[in-house]
Amino acid sequence: MEFDELTSSDALLRAIAELGWRDPTPIQRKAIPAARAGRDVLGIAQTGTGKTGAFLIPSIERQEDQEGLRTLVLCPTRELAQQVAADARDLCSHTELFVGEVYGGVPYEPQIRDLRAGFDILVATPGRLIDHLEKGNIDLSTVEVLVLDEADRMLDMGFRPQIERVLSRVPGERQTLLFSATMPNGVHALAMRIQREPVWVEAAPSATAAETVDQLVYSVRPDRKVDLLLELMKDPDMDQVLVFTRTKRGADLLYHRLHTAGIAVNVIHSDRNMQQRGNAMESFSEGHARVLVATDVAQRGLDIEGISHVINFDIPSDPEDYVHRIGRTGRAGASGDAITFMTAADLGQVRTIERVLGYPLPRVSLEGYDYGGASAADTSTGRPDSSGGRRRLGSRRTEDLSPEELKRLLDVG
């Protein structure tokens, strides 16, 4: 299936070609025809599978010759809202549609001026949108398509009251497109209440890691985690590395350690203001910073091409968070590496992740860093990867190692 089978808009097809989108992704193939037919859509797909195009393409085509606010997209975070708005502008580049964005962390006045000037497509976070609604800065009575992007994340962040208030201000006769990476009970209940006989499309089951991501678990003592990271960073192939920590303080401390070691690094978490977060993402995406240290504020919605490695410096407590984190690499068919640091206290969490994934994760034990708990019983070779069974250790492939090195690194025998 080609994009010209999913839209008849010459303007959209021209923009899609300029963006370099060659083949529709599975979620786009399944969701766009239903959305074009006017059906409500409930889309389930892991991150990096083209969900944004799946709801933007039919929405833009629907209103290409109309004026006024017809499409409203709700996103859980300002970073995701910025990226969705940027994609929308790219797709609208050969139309006369105007795309706006509304989110917190920036002054109200420029947003008020923009809202009064008028938009055809608006991308917003729930909290700031409610603020503008209460002040009378925006009218949602003309909305024909309501999109809830990353619905599970919005509910996790406590946005249910704001979502309900937005629902009360948009017309009841509308098309509702709801996209989510997972389907917890809260999202399912919301979908059943606000959608009319939705078409359920699913590109991958919940908690499914991308096949293009090679996954490794490094056994490490807590006091050697920074040293292990610095050791891995000696590999020049680790050229765009996203590192996740559990806390904001931990992110700041790791940032300072890497900076002191001479590594080009930036940091992003919820205590950083909008300008700082935007500058950090821009520096990382443009290659000025080799490493971006982040808390889970960036586990979803961060759409940066070319991330070579994701490192779980601190292991996530939720297996689905693990999937979302490592989904930042290996996107759109590209390959990537995901490395998780496991201390002795983390062994139970790793096993929980493995049970959810349905396969064991290969262990790597480096002399001088290993906490000493990775026994032969806890070590596995994992599933074969797309390179025919070759798997990276950091970015060293097994065929590059001597038998003695391989035995030591995999801690077997």
Q: What digits encode the pLDDT tens for the residues 373-389?
A: 444 334 443 333 333 33
Res 411: pLDDT: 40
Res 137: pLDDT: 94
Interior angle at CA 330, CA 229 and CA 357, nearest 5: 85
Residue 269 sits in the same domain as residue 368: yes
In a domain, 340, yes or no: yes
Res 391: pLDDT: 39
Residue 244 sits in the same domain as residue 152: no
Res 45: pLDDT: 76
| Angstrom distance (rounded) from CA 276 to CA 294 | 13
Residue 237 sits in the same domain as residue 313: yes
Residue 184 sits in the same domain as residue 240: no
Residue 26 sits in the same domain as residue 67: yes
**Residues 147 and 195 sit within 8 Å (Cβ to Cβ):** no
Residue 133 sits in the same domain as residue 235: no
CA torsion sign, 222 to 224 to 226 to 229? negative
Residue 195 sits in the same domain as residue 282: no
Q: What is the pLDDT of residues 23-74, one digit of tens each?
A: 898 899 999 999 999 999 999 876 667 889 999 999 999 999 888 999 999 9
Residue 246 sits in the same domain as residue 309: yes
Q: What's the CATH number where 74 sits? A: 3.40.50.300
Residue 160 sits in the same domain as residue 284: no
In a domain, 207, yes or no: no
In a domain, 9, yes or no: yes
Q: Which among 12, 72, 6 has a CA at the least distance from the CA of 35?
A: 6
In a domain, 208, yes or no: no
Residue 185 sits in the same domain as residue 233: no
Residue 228 sits in the same domain as residue 311: yes
Tell me how many domains the chain contains: 2
Residue 256 sits in the same domain as residue 344: yes
Question: What's the predicted TM-score (pTM) here?
Answer: 0.62
Res 105: pLDDT: 82
CA torsion sign, 164 to 270 to 323 to 336? positive
Residue ranges, the chain, pLDDT below 70: 46-48, 204-211, 274, 297-305, 330-334, 373-413
Res 110: pLDDT: 92
Domain end (from 144, 173, 202): 202
In a domain, 345, yes or no: yes
Domain end (from 202, 232, 249): 202
Q: Which domain holds residue 387?
A: 213-410
Domain end (from 168, 202, 236): 202
